Chains A and B, each alone.
Chain A
Amino acid sequence: MKEFHFHRASSVADAVAAVKGASAGKFLAGGQSLLPVLKLEMAEPSDLVSISRIKELRGVCVDGNKLLIGAVTTHAEVAASSEVKKHIPGLAALAEHIGDAQVRNRGTIGGSVAHADPAADYPAALVALGATIKTDRRAIAAEDFFTGLFETALEPDELVVAVHFPIPEKSAYAKFASHASKYALCGVMVSKTGSDVRVAVTGAGQKVFRVPEMEKALAARFEPSALDGISISADDLLSDGQASAEYRAHLVTVMAKRAVAAA
């Protein structure tokens, strides 16, 4: 790992100022994605600004019909939160199966979202639930946030402070995980609120994506069998040693059906 300067930010403003003032600054939350990247020297920040102890960034609360989750809330905290379990049980279940226990104890929702790994679980939830990412300066709709492979709409000095999830009628996530890493080879989150049905897929493509044809079929009839005969093209999907694009395409339908059955 290359050398860097370390700062502990005491507030959002302090954190943003520290990254702004650095030649190549980066925010550090739980570090479960960033530290492996630094070890591989795939990133060489001049400064790391730790946000993990900024109190206003931690915790879960309900505001009207929205569930608000602070950026440095850990996966374990989301999974165990009585508010999340009560209002969006599908999201609590998703958080409970991210990585492994130790990773869930350090890894955070804000860090995962900002890192935008194409196989991370949270992006599927954010897009399927129509979440909004609140940063230090604006609000970004989840669908506009994830722009590509490890790429987001964030400015280099922009900090994710919270994710706001509208509470759906029902939702569930089904994942086919890589056995070694627990990342999704294919993960599908479905949500339903009235006639608004969303299906979001992670792990299969360069970035999270929706499947309009499945959404239409499920809006008419919210049952696994409504997806019979609907498959997606393997053309733009990822292909690697773990799974071919064709296999991932097959998994999208299978996982979507499982998610609908679980919702």
Chain B
Amino acid sequence: MPAISLKVNQRAVTAEVEPRTLLVEFLREHLSLTGVHVGCDTSQCGACTVFVDGVSVKSCTMLAMEADGAEVTTIEGLAQGGKLHPMQQAFHEHHGLQCGFCTPGMVISSADLLKRNPRPTEGQVREWLEGNICRCTGYHNIVKAVLACAEGSAK
């Protein structure tokens, strides 16, 4: 089997994988990073969203082989030194979740938005999150959390 070497949550990882292994399978089954969720497995729901080289991608629609040499950040890698990432904190404070299944993808995707557009409008937040589906909340508190995080980081 071919080997890949990459950084996952700032840790160097080398592993042998079957070429058909999806990145999400590699993260969950080889590295036990089960915060990365598989919702639809058809690149619609966004629960599997992770950062690859700084941009958000759906890890169910990327081969692990394609992450060779890349830097991957999952929800497990966002908190630093025991302190939640500001976006995680904002979701917590604004109750941007109910069952929590979509939350890892929502948080990563929202963090990617603020990297590109630090002060998005509500409309821009809703449009950006089109690739993340939540079946509980109706999105209102998720959008509130993202906007609050944007305001907090601008202070």
Contacts and interface: CB of A to CB of B under 8 A. Distances in A.
Nearest to A182: B130
A260 to B, nearest CB: 24
Majority DSSP secondary structure for residues of A touching B: mixed
B76 to A, nearest CB: 19
A186 B128 CA distance: 22
Contacts of A99: 131
Interface residues of B, number: 28
Contacts, number: 73
A160 B85 CA distance: 41
B151 interface: no
B62 A31 contact: yes
Interface stretch (A60-68, A101-109, A112-120): A101-109
B100 interface: no
B58 A103 contact: yes
A100 B130 contact: yes
A48 B19 contact: yes
B90 interface: no
A103 B62 contact: no
A102 B49 contact: yes
A105 B66 contact: no
Given A6-B65, A32-B61, A100-B131, A105 B55 contact: yes
Nearest to A97: B127
Contact of B57 (A2, A4, A6, A106): A106
Interface in B39-65: 41-44, 46, 49, 55-58, 61-63, 65
A50 B18 CA distance: 15
Contacts of B62: 31, 35, 106
Interface of A: 1-6, 8, 28, 31-32, 35-36, 38-39, 48, 50, 52, 76, 99-103, 105-106, 180-182
**Closest 9 pairs between A and B when the two form their complex, measured CB to CB:** A100-B131, A6-B19, A105-B55, A100-B130, A102-B58, A1-B20, A102-B131, A6-B65, A35-B61
Given A4-B19, A32-B43, A105-B55, 14 more contacts: A6-B19, A31-B62, A35-B43, A35-B62, A38-B20, A101-B128, A101-B130, A101-B131, A102-B57, A102-B58, A102-B131, A106-B61, A180-B44, A181-B44
